[in-house]
Structure 1
Amino acid sequence: MLKGKLKLPRPLPIPDQLGSLIAGGSESEEFEFGEELEPIHPAALRLHRESDDAEEAIDNDDEGGGGGNGMDHKTRQRLSKDTINRVSVLKSTSEEEKRSDLEHELSQREINLEKLQRIASTGIPDGGGLRATAWKLLLGYLPSSQDLWEKELKENIQKYSNLKEELLLNPSEHIWREGKELSSTNQHKEGDSDGLLRRHEISQEDHPLSLGKASLWSRYFKYTETIEQINRDLQRTHPDIPFFSGESSFSLKNREAMKNILLLFAKLNPVICYVQGMNEVLAPIYYVFTIDTHKQNAVSAEADCFFCFVRVLGDSVDHFCQQLDNSSSGILSTLSRLSDLLKVNDEQLWHHLEFTTKVKPQFYAFRWITLLLTQEFKFESILRIWDTLLSNPFGVQDMLLRVCCAMLLCVKSKLLGGDFVANLKLLQHYPEDINLEYLLQVAQDISPDTSSYCLSL
């Protein structure tokens, strides 16, 4: 048996009660400012808007008679296309520069975490396993010294394997293995040469019908309902993405690995156990780690994912426990902080939501916060948002609240013109056509110190 089990950072000494989430280090090296990356301005990515402006300017010129510049229709068309092409080239160049900077930083023997956070916060390019490696570093799963990576990963893989064998193995396999090992030992001691296994007596506690608390079977059957709930939730996890859904061997393998992670977490943390919605938080991590193009990293994806999943939940574990809802670290306190953040940054909008339409954060932001925005955006947008969440030096929860506040600010005009029903519908089904880069820039411009900062839009 393992003497030390993996626990969340702080034990919760309270009785177990499940709630549903479905509601509708080492010090970094000194940073050299000369090496900082300037963040990509959202306007550089707003292709459609800039092209529209260009066309509008051309149209205005046309209405004025066109005599000022003497441009014909073909010339104006060419200029419009040139404007679009320049923006496309700018965006492509920015992505390549970002990829180059990130690859360079990840190739260093000593990773400058502050510099990595700055690069990753602007978005990690897809492909090449960059996001998987960066997330592991940002979560503190990998040490900053690359020389220690191989040793650390091997130890964690072995630790995860031991946990699975102890806590997830069917009791009959435990009993069979113990019996085989005992018979083999006895044969060796007694010098038996007939090759026959001796009968291994099963104790009362190891009998499948035993009700004793110490029984392997009793502990195994205790989680039957949890396993069924996990399986149901995994069937509903991103049903539009073949990686998670369907009956292919690939998707079945992925769901089985995710079930192992969620069940192991439940058994190691019986106070919290498994809560509906944890599958949604796990999905981005498992996806990113599994598609890593580095073969060794892909092989260890399940183990790496488990430990990083624990780290992500460690920042918000109290949100999953119903009995801590009213505590200083519970979900209601966090929702109150979001309300305060909005009040400081836009008191007009805050007053309209809180008093005029009475659309409280509990009605829409509960799911935003507990599920880390995994239900509000398309999957590729979720990965981009998480780049920013995990890169925040003040922690995931700090940036999460700032993103939630930015989500409100970015639809301010619609909210001010809406009543209770319209605003609730808008916030429970957040617009998919929102400019994500602009939203994240607004979130980063919001100061974490709400007592002394007011955002100007």
Structure 2
Amino acid sequence: MINQDFDIESLSQNLGGISNDNQQLIKDVQNILRNEIVDEDGLVKLCQQGFTNQTSRLRGIIWRLLLGYFPLNRKYWTQVIIKNRDNYNNIKIENIKKAPPQKKNDHPLSRNTDSDWNNHFQDQQLWSKIQKDVIRTRVKELGKEEFREMLNRILFLCCKLNKMDYVQGMNEFAALILYMCMSDPNEKLQNESDAFYCFMILMTSLKNNFQLQKEKVRAFQDLLKKVDWKLHDHLVNQKMDFSILYVKWFMILFAQDFHIDDSLRIWDCLFCQKNNREEFLYYLAISFLIQLREDLIVGDFGQILLILQNLEKQDINLSEVIQRAHLLQKEQKKC
């Protein structure tokens, strides 16, 4: 039997002020989610344009499904939440500790790898390094102390459990996922543990994302030349370094350059591209360049750089950018 504890019906409540098209999208997604086994392909077709403020109530469930945190069988969703909440509490207790007690063969100056004191000081260094970024990450949306502490814990535990170094950019990823969870209208989905496990899943797929990969920069540049050679040649003539775009856009997946609602919508689209995420990212980036083409094509290097490093201040229609990216992707596949 389907576990009725998980509320699907509330998705279509309080639709006043929402356009007819968006009301229909909510109801269509809801109909798919009512099935015991969710039709993932059908869900992707409905959601690939991303969610606006009017449809953002769908995001929490959809992200969990597309990331693989929720199984497609709906009857297990509540069980997943409860089990992982308990697991996460145990992880916090086990890994976030105060100074260790005094031991005969251990002391604060020990540098032995099995020293509790040495491990404690390494943990403190990692926590402090993360905290320096957290205090300036999405301050408007996650500026409350409780959210900063959550974000710090998520990043710290991810690094510690995976024995990985913290690098800038991870904070932007974790911030979007935490915000997605804590702003969900469904209280059952407002929890730190879901944010932690969704972040862990994402980092598994993006573990190589924080390294500059020149062959991918070249692939993007070649694709731009194929789509719009005039714009490409102008950027090249102005000595535009395409690796700058790679760092700003591809490494952190547009998580930093926009209002948080726009970054979340871009991620909606990327998660719907389960097997073509990197490819779609290229078309999305090219679509942004085309959207800004009128100013870029007449700009010198300084003007171009100013535009591309301040996308949030540009007059951009994100719906047009997303639609064009999908169109470019389809057109290039025909070639």
TM-score under structure 1 length normalisation? 0.65
Query: Which residue identity is paired with 1:215?
Result: S
Residue of structure 2 in register with 1:224 after alignment: 124
Partner of 2:4: none
In the aligned structure 1, how far is the partner of 2:124 from the partner of 2:319? 43
Cα distance, 1:287 vs structure 2: 0.7
Q: Given the alignment, which residue of 82, 92, 98 partners 1:154?
A: 82
Letter in 2 for 1:108: N
257-266 or 365-374, which deviates more: 365-374
Change (3 A) 1:314 1:343: farther
Aligned to 2:185: 293
| 1:211 maps to amino acid | R
Per the alignment, residue 45 of structure 2 pairs with 118
Q: Give secondary structure in 2 for the equivalent of 1:202.
A: coil
1:24-423 superposed matches below 5 A = 92-124=19-51, 126=53, 129-172=57-100, 202-205=103-106, 207-239=107-139, 241=140, 243-245=141-143, 251-270=144-163, 272-298=164-190, 301-321=191-211, 325=212, 331-354=213-236, 356-423=237-304
User: Offset at 1:133?
Assistant: 0.8
Residue 208 and residue 235 in structure 1: after superposition, are their counterparts in 2 closer, same or farther (change >3 A)? same
Give the Å deviation of 1:395. Answer: 4.1
In the alignment, the residues of structure 2 paired with residue 128 and residue 438 of structure 1 have an alpha-carbon distance, to the nearest angstrom, of 18
Judged with a 3 Å threshold, the aligned counterparts in structure 2 of structure 1 residues 265 and 147 are, in CA distance, closer, same or farther, namely: same
Select the structure with the greater relative contact order (CA < 8 A; seq sep ≥ 6): 1
Secondary structure of the equivalent of 2:72?
A: coil
- Compute the displacement of 1:293 (Å): 2.6
Q: Deviations over 1:54-81 (max 9, x none)?
A: xxxxxxxxxxxxxxxxxxxxxxxxxxxx
Over 3 Å counting, the alpha-carbon distance change for 1:441 and 1:357 in structure 2 is same
Q: Secondary structure at the match of 1:417?
A: coil
SS in 1 for 2:70: coil
Root mean square deviation, CA, Å: 2.3
Deviation at 1:204, TM superposition (A): 1.8
- Structure with the bigger percentage of helix: 2
Deviations 1:267-310 (A, max 9, x none): 1233x411122111111110111122323322xx2111112112
2 CA distance for matches of 1:405 and 1:385? Answer: 14
Name the residue aligned to 1:86. none
Query: What residue identity is the alignment partner of 1:261?
Result: I
Paired with 1:289 and 1:116, the residues of 2 have a C-alpha distance of: 20
What is the Cα deviation at residue 238 of structure 1? 1.9
1:6-25 matches, cutoff 5 A: none
Structure 2 Cα separation of the partners of residues 97 and 379 of structure 1 = 25
| DSSP-derived class of the 1:305 partner | helix
Change (3 A) 1:333 1:451: farther
Offset, 1:424: 1.5
Deviation at 1:429, TM superposition (A): 1.5
Q: Output the CA distance in 2 between the equivalents of 1:287 and 1:253.
A: 12
Letter in 2 for 1:423: I
Deviation at 1:452, TM superposition (A): 5.4
**Structure-1 separation of matches of 2:89 and 2:306:** 45
* C-alpha distance in structure 2 between counterparts of 1:292 and 1:451, whole Å: 36
Higher Rg of the two aligned structures: 1
Query: Given that residues 377 and 432 in structure 1 are in contact (C-alpha distance below 8 angstroms), is that contact kept between their aligned partners in structure 2?
Result: no
**Cα 1:312–1:104 shift into 2, 3 Å:** same
- Check 1:352–1:125 CA distance in 2 against 1; reply closer, same or farther (3 A cut): closer
Aligned to 1:320, the other structure's residue is in SS state coil
Q: SS at the partner of 1:440?
A: helix
Q: Which residue of 2 aligns with 1:438?
A: 320
Structure 1 residue runs without a partner (length 5+): 1-88, 176-200, 246-250, 326-330
Give secondary structure in 2 for the equivalent of 1:318: coil
SS for the counterpart of 1:123 is coil
Partner of 1:193: none
Distance, in Å, in 2 between the alignment partners of 1:154 and 1:357 is 55
In the TM superposition, residue 98 of structure 1 has moved relative to its aligned partner by 1.1
Deviations 1:95-124 (A, max 9, x none): 111111122222221110011111121233
CA distances 1:318-347 after superposition (whole Å, capped 9, x unpaired):
1324xxx4xxxxx32322222122122112
Distance 2:48 2:230 in 1: 30
Shift of 1:214: 0.3
Q: Deviations over 1:158-196 (max 9, x none)?
A: 332332222222253xx5xxxxxxxxxxxxxxxxxxxxx
Q: Which amino acid aligns with 2:147?
A: N
